[in-house]
Structure 1
Amino acid sequence: MYYNHHGFQNVGIRQQDDLTTMNRLIVTGEGSVSAVPDTALLTIGVITENQNLSMAQKENADKTTSVIQTLMSLGIPQSDIQTSSFRIEPQYNYENGQQQFRGYRIEHQLQVTIKDIRQTGQAIDQAVENGANSVSSIQFTVSNPDAFYNQALSLAIQNAQQKAISMARALQVTLRPVPIIIQEVSQLLPPRPVPFQAVMYAQSAETPIQPGENKITASVKIQYTYN
């Protein structure tokens, strides 16, 4: 039904114009929470060299099998132990500008997920004792990062709201409490690896591994209107 009565004509157009000419206040907010890691991701490897390829392969396979069995004896399921890389490379020496074949180098890297983070140091030591000679990285993560990220997201919204209130007071305007746009700026990302790396890891009584804390951050952009 169409009304041509004064006061109804072009109401929709005027409402649209009101939205486009509305005074807007745009703020950003950030929030972060600290999460104690409960899971460790290790990259443990076996590196062997021999002039005979078959012997190099057999030695590497025997040691890798021993490492896997050792980790499983600690209660780590086989599904949490997987090959991350396997390489066979010829090795050469260079003397007087000439290339001389030295042998073959075989590298087998395993990614190990340790869900009982207290076992991290023990797992490294036992793996090294039973054939591993490379620990290339250790990462500490949380098993439920979404819960921590949602907390950070709530803090980011509160931070943006506080900024908007402070700015409105400084401008001596009345802030409308309900925002017209809320935009999530950040996305949940895997936590950064803890800066711990070692190659040819030395054996010790028990390697002291400190997981520390992961910082999970969120940010938002919010648009408010004011009178």
Structure 2
Amino acid sequence: MIRMSRAVAVAALVTMGMFGGTAFADSDPGPDPGPGPALGFGFPKWLLDESQSKITVVGTGSQSAVPDVMRLDAGVEVRRPTAGAAFADARTAAAKLTQALLAAGIQAKDLRTNDLSLGPEYSTYPTVSDYRAAQGVEAVVRDIASADKVIDAVAAVGEEARLNGISFEVSNNRGVLRAARDAAFRDAAARAVQYARLAGRELGPVLTISEEETSSPPIRFAAAAPVDSTSISPGQQALSVQVRVVYELF
């Protein structure tokens, strides 16, 4: 007479065969294994692992746009025999620089102090040769067509003026990012279809989506001297998006 435990074991083996396992109808199931950890019939743990019916892919999309804003990193720097003289003259030169930028069309709200320093300079340590004082300012140029005018205004401040660099950015990037997301999702879907086909499976619905923006850093150029009126060009800036998509597999 066949015990109930043997019938249950055979049914479990047949079920395993439906999932791709191999069932041996004439094999001896051996002693009753008792209740399994999850289903109660000793099923292999991998049958219960949800990751076996999912696929995770990462898609990348990129979209380029012409920057419409320039950020100018400028400042002043002086060296004097005493710390007080250096600091006072640097402050005076910084005020002159601010007035020059305002006269060139930069709005006060688009000016920001980004550096203020004072320290000794050594000929042979610990002998102090002079004191160096500096003050920096970041100016947002919203009309790139006036970029050369702004740069020339900084250079005209005098020998204390410093041009440390410029960068470009897209002020309103929502439309650009939307297009990048579309491209990223299409890329993820294409990858998922390919992997499902290679695995001999069918792609199911989307289970989860998560996004990580990977925008390119602002394009930055060094500038140390006045430039020709036609030398400032924003070029193009690429904004990238990565999307992680989890699909069900059948």
What TM-score does the superposition give when structure 2 sets the normalisation length? 0.72
Distance 1:70 1:153, change over 3 A: same
Amino acid of the structure 2 residue aligned with 1:63? A
How many Å separate the matches in 2 of 1:207 and 1:57?
36
How many Å separate the matches in 2 of 1:125 and 1:156?
42
Structure 1 residue 222 and structure 2 residue 245: aligned?
yes
Structure 1 residue 73 and structure 2 residue 100: aligned?
no
How many Å separate the matches in 2 of 1:21 and 1:42?
51
Distance 1:207 1:69, change over 3 A: farther
Counterpart of 2:147 in structure 1 is: 120
Counterpart of 2:135 in structure 1 is: 108
- Secondary structure of the structure 2 residue equivalent to 1:222: strand
Q: Answer yes or no: is the 8 Å Cα contact 1:71–1:126 preserved in 2.
A: yes
Structure 1 residue 192 and structure 2 residue 220: aligned?
no
Sequence identity of aligned pairs in percent?
A: 25
Counterpart of 2:236 in structure 1 is: 213
| 1:146 aligned to which of 135, 155, 174 | 174
Counterpart of 1:7 in structure 2 is: none
Cα RMSD for the two superposed structures: 2.5
Between Structure 1 and Structure 2, how many residues are aligned?
A: 204
Distance 1:53 1:23, change over 3 A: closer
Taking CA–CA contacts closer than 8 Å with sequence separation of 6 or more, which of the two structures ends up with the larger relative contact order?
1
Counterpart of 1:60 in structure 2 is: 90
Counterpart of 1:130 in structure 2 is: 157
Q: How does 1:5-16 map to 2 (within 5 A)?
A: none
- Secondary structure of the structure 2 residue equivalent to 1:37: coil
- Secondary structure of the structure 1 residue equivalent to 2:221: coil
Which range moved further: 55-64 or 102-111? 55-64
Q: CA deviation at 1:205?
A: 4.5
Amino acid of the structure 1 residue aligned with 2:213? Q
- Secondary structure of the structure 1 residue equivalent to 2:203: coil
**What residue ranges of structure 2 are gaps of 5+ in the alignment?**
1-38, 40-46
Amino acid of the structure 2 residue aligned with 1:46? V
| 2:58 aligned to which of 28, 38, 42 | 28
How many Å separate the matches in 2 of 1:121 and 1:197?
14
Q: Deviations over 1:141-178 (max 9, x none)?
A: 111233322321221111111222233344443322x2
How many Å separate the matches in 1 of 2:190 and 2:88?
65
Amino acid of the structure 1 residue aligned with 2:136? Q
Counterpart of 2:206 in structure 1 is: 179
